[in-house]
Amino acid sequence: MMDGESTISKAGISRIYAYGATTANHKVKYMATIVYVDRYDEKNDEWGQIDAWVAEDENTYYMSTAKSLKVDRGYYYRVHCNHIAGNEYPYEEEFSVTNGILIP
């Protein structure tokens, strides 16, 4: 019924571009994309959230949201998203995640 996409890319020195998109197979009453940006903590071998935001829309089949963020150099970063869509609650939910990229 729907598909979701997460993207991360370098956007200059100490900057990343985080993007999330949700696509339904048909127009739905409600759609949301929740975007999480994580940084890898090598010492503890885990990802930790450094930013997040929500974008919502109504009566559509597609939406996207993006943000450019200033980040610390020398770490890996990734984006993962929750994609939510439907005509009535409970809505359908999907997840997507990127690989980590190093910001040297």
First and final C-alpha spacing in the chain: 39
- Is-contact 69 16, C-beta < 8 A? yes
Q: Which residues, including other chains, have CB under 8 Å from residue 11's CB and lie 6 or more apart? A: 17, 68
The CATH H-level (homologous superfamily) assignment of domain 2-103 is: Immunoglobulins (2.60.40.10)
Q: What is the pLDDT of residue 1?
A: 73
Q: What is the pLDDT of residue 38?
A: 99
pLDDT in single tens digits along all 104 residues of the chain: 799 999 999 999 999 999 999 999 999 999 999 999 999 999 999 999 999 999 999 999 999 999 999 999 999 999 999 999 999 999 999 999 999 999 99
Q: What is the pLDDT of residue 16?
A: 99
Q: For 37-48, how does the pLDDT look when each residue is reduced to its tens digit (9 = 90+)?
A: 999 999 999 999
Q: What is the pLDDT of residue 64?
A: 98
- What radius of gyration, in Å, describes the C-alpha atoms of the chain? 15
Q: What is the pLDDT of residue 47?
A: 98
